[in-house]
Structure formats: structure tokens, C-alpha cells
Amino acid sequence: MHTQLHTLIAQLRLQGIAACLDQVLSEAQHNGTAIQDVLTTLLETEYQDRMARALNNRIKSAKMPWSWSIDTFPFKQQPDINKSQIMSLAKLDFIKQLENITLIGKPGTGKTGIAISLLRLALINGYRGRFYNAQDLLNELYASLADRTTSNLLKTIVAYDIIIIDELGYLTLTTEQINIFFKLIDMRYHKKSTIITTNLDYPQWYEVFKNKELVDAMLDRFNHYCTTIYIKGSSLRVPVRPSKEAAKESKLNETPETQVLGETL
């Protein structure tokens, strides 16, 4: 009977049930558990397993380059970021309301970290999303023109509930890339949420896209439903130097052996 059950479960691809079947049945037989309770336990286990695998697939497909999260973001090291505002965005109402976010600041100030943290939260809550480097995205869109797959690629990108376009800066762009990027923004306009990180304030976008009318139209669409966050703090990539007190305490705690080693290094 167990062999037949395992065969049927394997054919139905019930991986969660397969992993716990023998233990649940053994405990049920020993404790005299009611059949409906056994079925409930098996189905709950299967459901949890499917939810976990679905989340892992969403995170893998999102291609996030770093594992930033709201819980690990160093807000204390970047006091210029309004933590209350970010935690408000972390409720993900902006996705439900089909709104955008622009994070503007110098390199290393935490723009990408905030963006990835919000994307990760969205994935955990069942949304589908994707991280894109701006130049890589534009190159991929441009390459799709050669094999005439642009339409399918745009449909794929537009279907995501939320995307990040990271490092929108002084890019090397062709006219075709500029036009396709505008089309992407237009297709997602008030249909899906987009997060853009950039070191350029909006007036500088004209220098990148070199088409005033197109930039006017793009910003009109993107900013219609958008939260813009300016980050003016220093780079998080700068090593934090220990205080004089901490350095003095560290020196006092050194043994003669470690002092010699330090001098050698």
C-alpha cells in the first residue's frame, strides 16, 4: 500500500507530501489519528512546500545581484534616508496603486540597496519582479531588434508586477535604444510599478536621452504616479573607522604576540 501511495504521489508531483508521508502515517497509526486530520496534515505540508518552492523560484528569477533586505539595511550609517518613509513603502501599497519610485543620489549612498529591499519584500508577498541593470537592459532590448523578438521581450518585462532599472546614468545609447526605453516606460505606465535608481536628477535626463520632446513625455508618464527620494548622504562603501576609545581598547587587549604580528604586517 505504501509503495502504491508513493508511486501515485510521485506521479502527481506532490513533493511536500512525499517528504512526510511515512512519518505522518506512522504517527497516525500509533496515535489513532482520524483520517481527516491525517489528510489535513498532508495537504498543509504540501501547500507550505509549494509556497516555499514558488518563493525560491521568484527570488531566483528576479536575478537580484545582492541580498539586501529591509531588516539588514544600515539606516544608522545613512541618516539622510528617511527610514519612516522607506518603511511606509515597505507596506507595498505603491505596487497595489501601480506607482513608481525614483531613488536619486551619488554612487554608494544606498539607492540600489533600498530598491532591492523593496523588491525582495514584493517577492516574499507573492509578486513577480525582476532586477535590471539599465545599460544591460537597453543592450538586451537593442539586440532584440536584430531577431525581431522586441515585442515578446517587452511583453515579458511589462508583465512583471515590479521591476528595478538600476544605475540609469550617463549611458551610451543609440536612437533605437532611446525609443525602445520610452516604449517600455509607456507600456508600464499606471499598469505596473517601476523603481529607477540614478545619480542624475531629472533635468539631467535630457543630456542622456537627447530628445527633449521624448523626455518630456517619458517624465510626464513616469512621474505622474511616482515617489521621488533624494539621498544626499555619503557613500556606504567608505570603511567606518573605529572611535578613538574603541581603538585604544583594542590596543590594550593586544597580546605581545599580536602586537609583533601587527608590526610585521
Residue-wise pLDDT for 197-249, tens only, equals: 999 999 999 999 989 999 999 999 999 999 999 998 788 876 555 555 544 55
Coil, strand, or helix at residue 9? helix
Query: Which residues face 163 on adjacent strands?
Result: 130, 194
**Structure-block grid coordinates of residue 230:** 533624494
**Structure-block grid coordinates of residue 165:** 532599472
Give the span between the Cα atoms of 158 and 143, in whole angstroms.
18
Identify which of 166, 164, 168, 163 has the alpha carbon closest to the alpha carbon of residue 205: 168
**Structure-block grid coordinates of residue 20:** 512526510
Q: What percent of the chain has pLDDT over 70?
A: 89
Query: In this predicted model, which residue has the larger pLDDT, 170 or 37?
Result: 37
The pLDDT value recorded for residue 238 is 64
pLDDT above 80: residue 261: no
pTM: 0.83
Residue positions counted in the chain = 265
Give the span between the Cα atoms of 127 and 66, in whole angstroms.
19
Least confident of 153-157, 181-185, 222-226, 256-260: 256-260
Q: How confident is the model at residue 100 (pLDDT cuts 50, 70, 90)?
A: very high
